Amino acid sequence: MASEPPLLSLRNINVTFGGVRALKGVSFEVRPGEVHCLAGENGCGKSTLIKVITGVYRPEAGAELWFDGKPVAAMTPTLAQSLGIQVIWQDLALFGEMTVAENIGFQHAVNGRFGLVNRHAVQAAAERALAKLGVTLDLHMPLKELPIAQRQIVAIARALVGEARLVFMDEPTASLTQSETDYLIEIVRTLSASGVAVVFVSHRLAEVLEISDRMTVLRDGELVGVFPVEGLTQSRVTELMTGRNFDNAVIASDHDDQPVVLSVRNLSRHREFENISFDLRRGETLGITGLLGAGRTELALTLFGMKPAHSGGIEIEGRPVRFASNRDAIREGVAYLSEDRLSLGLNQPQSIADNLVMASLDRILSGGLISLTRKADVVRRWIAALGVKIGTPDDPIRTLSGGNQQRVAIAKWLATDPRILILDAPTVGVDVGARAGIFDIVRKLSAEGLSIILISDEPPEVYFNADRIIHMVEGRIRAIYDPRRMSLTDLEAAVYA
Amino acid sequence: MRRFVLAHTTEVALIVVMLVLSAGLSLATDRFLTLSNAFDVLNVSAVNIIFAVGLLVVLISGGIDISFAVAASVVQYLAVLALGVVGGGNWALGFLIAGAIGLGLGFVNAFLVYRLSIISIVATISTFNIFFGLLMFFTKGVSIYNLPDWLTTRVVFYEREMADGSWVELTLPVVVMLICCGATWFLISRTTTGRKLYAFGDNPEGARRFGINIGAMHYISFGWLGLMAGIAGLMQAHYAEEVVPNALYGRELDVLAATVLGGARLGGGKGSVIGCVLGVLMVSITQNGLNLMGVSPFAFKMIVGAIILVAITLSSARLDKLLPAFARARPRTGGPR
């Protein structure tokens, strides 16, 4: 394989945006039919590199770009398409109201002869592409009716219609469950076996290591190196990506001497979860893990008063409570950090300060109006306490990195002075380096006596950060583990079994 | 069959509601269920259906337009004036002039929305006021009764006297309406431009990444509505045999409600000609029924509003929730198998 000429090869790529060098002398190479991982933290230049390859950005003079052994003087989006370079964007760019066939065959649908749609050509193109992937989907189903995983397949199939030779996948598994991810990995293998090279961009190191042949690592716009994946470990990759070393250790400890803050008894919600019972003590961090769809978020939303339980009870500090809405829950000291920070957790166009006080407006009132001084005090206090890196509090929150946004989202809830903080997938879309910072905050908060429920579908996150771990399967508690009495491998085996 | 029902939930629901309504009206009055009454409803609805299929194209491409009804009034006025200048003209010239002016007014909206990046509801509320304001200012609210003879003479394509002495008539507005429906159907579901309009309304960013000409999408959709509004304006002048500057004022909301009732999505990317037609007919049938039942016209608006609410609730509620038998056809969300 090493003697084979590369399909794509770039040398000496420099890109500068407004004085900031986004890529510094980067080279990159993809061999025919290989699965190549492009790794690096957010802002390291991965997407800039993809946009150079697809002709969206023009690199500075001195750059060399070769495709299939021939030099390419100036790449343009149209040229990239005709060479068979396809990108599957993270947001998929599909059309929800159209059918599966129309989405896959869209290129044919908008390029028919005499400006007319040739429905047979569209349908045939869709069938061919799906056959290549070895998948059957209902071609007439409107796309919006499909689960995310199948939409992903549609996006891949659409790339294949253009006779793809090189496919970029940007975070394809970000919203998939484990079994869906496995399925996608199978698809990628099929693609690669048929001679299509795949470049995989993903935050999830486990699957990257499973699927790729080689890995190119970028850091701060520079090439760290190209590594064969065989023999690499997750912690080694993290080190390469961040330039730092993160030592993980189990932090679990006993809280039996502490008072019970939250007591859940036989809580059930029709078709979502059943018979959930546990106690949460002061200063304890309780991890909840399980596959996507195990009912974790539904349980959290019930504890937060957003989905009523159908039976069972909740007690807070020994008093039975009934939440008619999440306003009641917030009054009782429950806070919930949503799993979907981008669309639900933060109001992106608004300022950092406005986002931060969003949940605690009634605490900064003075004579019924918002007191700007009290607001500024609250903002200053929490920005400092959580170490959020900002320009000024009046900047829109979308200007912050994922990790810093997540800190503001946590601060928003801490400002409500909660007793119980539910963190639902707090590291989704957060860099490896910044994740450690989030968990440092979690540990500090629990040391200060806050009781935390930490929900994650990544077993290592709960293993290293929780005192006890609830394992949920199909809406029921399968087991409660003590991380000190089991290995991470055992936990992973149990979760993925 | 099940697939058809799932793919055309709104249309099927509307037909069901219309059948129920018609059955009720047939029992309540003996005039409702006659062929001549059916043709009456069609004649009365023709202008609104022409408006509706034009608006449909704008809605599909993700926009909205409030100004088309007063634009049609402007067209009526300018067209009649222009026809006077050329010495009367004929139908061909009438359609040409009305269509061209309508197209031009549509392009004004497209320009505001695309070039100046004003969101379409604000842009068209502005042009609604500007068009109407200019019209009232220059006409001082005076109507034109002196129309060319060809324009006011009824054109009947088919007529027949029924056994009960009533007449069945197929008139020009209905024929023009059918042509407009056919043309719009062809545009949106058979041409590549139509696919692009749906794609653009559905996911503008996705469409942009496919290299779809976004500017063209704006001009085509608002231009098409302008063209339809021009034609509808001419038909309304023909039907009313006069041009009254504020005759169409307020029509935009009736048409918008009927179009959305027919399944067009305000967010873009969805809607069908047949849905549009059903939406308009639904409202017309209600009004017609109320008329025949001798209900006070003052109560019409109230009842029509209520009917729209009921129909839209039924058609937007997922059919599988109303009829569990259809639920099994849906894919389970979850595993990729």
Domains and CATH numbers, chain A: 8-242 (3.40.50.300), 260-496 (3.40.50.300)
Inspect the interface and report whether the beta carbons of B206 and A102 lie closer than 8 Å. Answer: no
DSSP classification of residue B297: G
Say how far apart CA A76 and CA A16 lie, in whole Å: 18
User: Could you list the residue range(s) of the whole structural domain that residue B73 is in?
Assistant: 6-18+35-159+166-323
Q: Which tokens belong to A223?
A: 């090439």
Q: Is B265 on the interface with A (CB under 8 A)?
A: yes
Which regions in chain B score pLDDT beneath 50? Answer: 319-320, 325-337
Q: In which residue are the tokens 């909206």 written?
A: B109
Helix B68-85, helix B35-60: angle, nearest 10:
100
pLDDT in tens, A191-205: 889 889 999 887 777
Hey, are the CB atoms on B206 and A95 less than 8 Å from each other? yes
Name which residue leads in pLDDT, B72 or A458.
B72
Find the DSSP H helices in A66-177: 77-83, 100-104, 106-109, 119-133, 148-161
Does residue A134 sit at the B interface (CB-CB below 8 Å)?
A: no
Q: Which chain B residues have a beta carbon less than 8 Å from that of A77?
A: 211
Number of domains comprising chain B: 1
On whether residue B102 sits in a domain, the answer given is: yes
Amino acid letter, A252? A
pLDDT tens per residue, range A350-369: 899 999 988 888 888 888 88
Nearest to B209 among A93, A112, A116 (CB): A93
Tell me what pLDDT residue B328 has: 43
Find, in chain A, the residue whose alpha carbon is nearest to that of B200.
A95
What was the pLDDT predicted at A26? 92
In a domain, B211, yes or no: yes
B62: amino acid identity, one letter = G
Residue B323's pLDDT is what?
53
The DSSP bridge pattern shows strands A70-71 and A64-67 to be: antiparallel
Which stretches of A285-392 are DSSP H helices? 296-303, 326-331, 352-356, 372-385
Look at residue A246 and tell me whether its pLDDT is greater than 90. Answer: no
Strands A476-481 and A311-316, by their bridges, are: unpaired
Candidate from B203, B335, B336 with C-beta closest to A95? B203
Residue in the block written with tokens 């409660």: A480
Mutation target among A51, A94, A97 for the B interface, most CBs of B within 10 A: A97
- B30 in a structural domain: no
How far does A81 lie from chain B, in Å, by closest CA? Answer: 10
Q: Is pLDDT larger for residue A245 or for residue B225?
A: B225
Instruction: List chain A residues with CB under 8 Å of B191.
Output: 115-117
Out of A77, A97, A147, whose CB is closest to B333? A147
**What per-residue confidence (pLDDT) applies to B3?**
64
Is B198 close to A93, i.e. CB distance below 8 A? Answer: no
Q: Is B185 near chain A, with CB under 8 Å?
A: no
Average of per-residue pLDDT values in chain A:
87
In a domain, B29, yes or no: no
In a domain, B45, yes or no: yes
Domain membership of residue B134 (yes or no) is: yes
Do residues B248 and B71 make contact, with C-beta atoms less than 8 angstroms apart?
no
B334–chain A Cβ distance below 8 A for any pair:
yes
Q: Which residue has the higher pLDDT, A181 or A126?
A: A126
Looking at residue B1, its pLDDT comes to: 58
Residue B196 falls inside a structural domain: yes
List A17's β-bridge partners, or say none.
A20
Q: Which of A87, A110, A141 has the highest number of chain B CBs within 10 A, making it the mutation to test binding with B?
A: A110
Which of B192, B206, B337 shows the shortest C-beta gap to A94?
B206
Asked if residue B75 belongs to a domain, the reply is yes
User: Among the listed ranges A130-144, A231-245, B235-249, B261-275, which one has the minimum average pLDDT value?
Assistant: A231-245
Contact A295, A470 (CB under 8 A): no
For residue A48, with 0-12 CB atoms within 10 Å meaning exposed, 13-18 middle and 19 or more buried, which class applies? buried
**ipTM rounded to 2 decimals:** 0.79
Please answer yes or no on whether A106 and B336 come within 8 Å at the CB atom. no
Mean pLDDT of A74-85: 86
Alpha-carbon gap, residue B303 to A434, rounded angstroms: 59
Share of chain A above pLDDT 90, in %: 33
Residue B334, pLDDT score: 36
CB atoms within 10 A of CB B119: 11
Q: B334 CA to chain A: closest CA distance, Å?
A: 7
Q: How many residues does chain A have?
A: 497
Contact of A398 with A369, CB cutoff 8 Å: no
pTM beyond cutoff 0.80? no
A141 touches chain B (CB under 8 A): yes
